[in-house]
Amino acid sequence: MHNLPRTMSLAAALAITTTASAKSELASAPAADDVATLRAQGPAGLATLLARFDRLGAGPARDALARRIDAVAAQRYATVSRLYWYTDLGQAEAAARAQHRPILALRMLGRLDEDLSCANSRIFRATLYANADVSKFLRDNFVLYWSSERAVPVVTIDFGDGRKIQRTTTGNSAHYVLDENGGVIDVLPGVYAPTVFKSELTKTLTLAKKLRGLDEARRAVAVAEHARTGGDQARAEFAKVGGQVYLPGRRRLVAAADMASELAKAQRATMSKARVEVPDLVRIGFDAGAIAPTDVDQWATVGQMAFGIGDVKPVAERAAEPVAQQKQAATPAKPVAAPRILDDQSRALVARLHNGDGRPVPQAQLDAMIARLEQTLVADTALNEFQLRAQIRTYLDTARVRDFGKLNEMIYANVFHTPKSDLWLGLHPRTDFTGLPADGVSTPAI
């Protein structure tokens, strides 16, 4: 993820004193040592606490219960997502077989139930799992499981006067879709926009149903065909986009009217030879590998065109529209807002986290941050779909690797470029002089 999400403050109502009913609810809540008992009940145990949470008014009792809910769910901010996650693969597989559901297995750095998990998993919590439509879809169709690749590196900047900044660095995450028996059937690497995430997972549900009852040989063939078909479709989608133009320098998604208007200006300037001030329209790379991973504006436009976000159409499609429709798109009566990627529930969590220190930023600044986050989500979706996932589909198709452990090792080594053999995750290359003994590195005594 290129930009980390920021977020909004807790409502003032959270600070009000505990009411009599809240005290009663807190007294009837299970003790902390009952978390294991509730986790053993699976999603039903979580539902019990969530029902109690919903009856409570805002205040310390509700806040305390929210943290216990996170512990039972094994996920931070579970009062928003309402998702239950297994942390034992054997238990997840047993639940999947009992319910005849596939497993959505998140592999990440750090832990999903801690604030300082890797950046991608924090994005998932705020933009995917918090999305009302996505969270319901996951609850209704998958058994959820997460595991940690390794601890996440944490960086602390101490200003020496009590002020500190603490962040994580490096690391990537992937959602693996496993069948009832734990075999990998598909992988979504990194961050995806909610609508695309749901769309791609919906395809895996069809595949999982098809695989049920097949022997291992026929399952391997079906998974390979699914990967090959997906790869062919992705290449065809990019072929429609490659060579089209985009508007650089935008820190938000492009509205359809923006693109149509600027293209119309460019065309008029070309036809009349007049000197019309037109933004620098740049052509999108003709293949996915030609675009730098850091080019957020270009990848975002690729994502908008490829996934139909905001009706930003390639030039050829726009040219085929009736003239009256083109004129209407090119000369909007008023500015058209960029498409929304985050739903209200996700926006509320993003805002709450961004202002988590109790000092809310001005609304205009918050709006700009969310606009940039949405643009980056779409950019990452396109980058991950057209570059990273292409490599993974090759493993599933030609190499036919379905073992979760083996495939995960290959992905982290060759796709994410953080192999197990690199203990320092690329953060300690020993190529530049730092002026510090041992480059400031310390290791535990052996």
**pTM for this structure?**
0.85
Q: Which residue has the higher pLDDT, 159 or 328?
A: 159
Provide the percentage of residues in the chain whose pLDDT is more than 70. Answer: 82
Confidence of residue 436 (pLDDT cuts 50, 70, 90): confident
Range of the domain at 272: 241-344+356-382
Tell me, what DSSP letter sits at residue 335?
Answer: P
Confidence of residue 249 (pLDDT cuts 50, 70, 90): confident
Radius of gyration of the chain (CA): 24
Identify whether 340 is part of a domain.
yes
Confidence of residue 402 (pLDDT cuts 50, 70, 90): very high
Confidence of residue 446 (pLDDT cuts 50, 70, 90): low
Q: pLDDT, tens digit, for every residue of 359-373? A: 888 999 999 999 999
User: Is the Cβ–Cβ distance between 408 and 431 less than 8 Å?
Assistant: no
133: pLDDT strictly greater than 90: yes
Q: How far apart (Å, rounded) are the C-alpha atoms in residues 56 and 26? A: 9
Identify whether 286 is part of a domain.
yes
What pLDDT is attached to residue 68? 95
What pLDDT is attached to residue 24? 39
Identify whether 366 is part of a domain.
yes
Bridge partners for 165 per DSSP:
157
Q: Which residue has the higher pLDDT, 218 or 171?
A: 218
Tell me, what DSSP letter sits at residue 284?
Answer: P
State the amino acid at position 128 in one-letter form. L
User: Is the Cβ–Cβ distance between 368 and 198 less than 8 Å?
Assistant: no
Confidence of residue 6 (pLDDT cuts 50, 70, 90): very low
State the amino acid at position 254 in one-letter form. V
Identify whether 299 is part of a domain.
yes
Query: How many residues are listed for the chain in this entry?
Result: 446
Q: How far apart (Å, rounded) are the C-alpha atoms in residues 184 and 32? A: 36
Burial code of 317-334, b = ≥16 C-beta within 10 A, e = fewer?
Answer: ebeeeeeeebeebbeeee
Identify whether 7 is part of a domain.
no
Identify whether 369 is part of a domain.
yes
Identify whether 58 is part of a domain.
no
Sequence-distant contacts of 323-327: CB under 8 A, at least 24 apart: 326/260, 326/264
Sequence-distant contacts of 75-78: CB under 8 A, at least 24 apart: 75/112, 75/113, 75/125, 75/129, 75/146, 76/112, 76/113, 76/114, 76/115, 76/117, 76/125, 77/125, 77/126, 77/129, 77/130, 77/349, 78/46
Identify whether 322 is part of a domain.
yes
What pLDDT is attached to residue 322? 61
265: pLDDT strictly greater than 80: no
Domains: count for the chain: 1
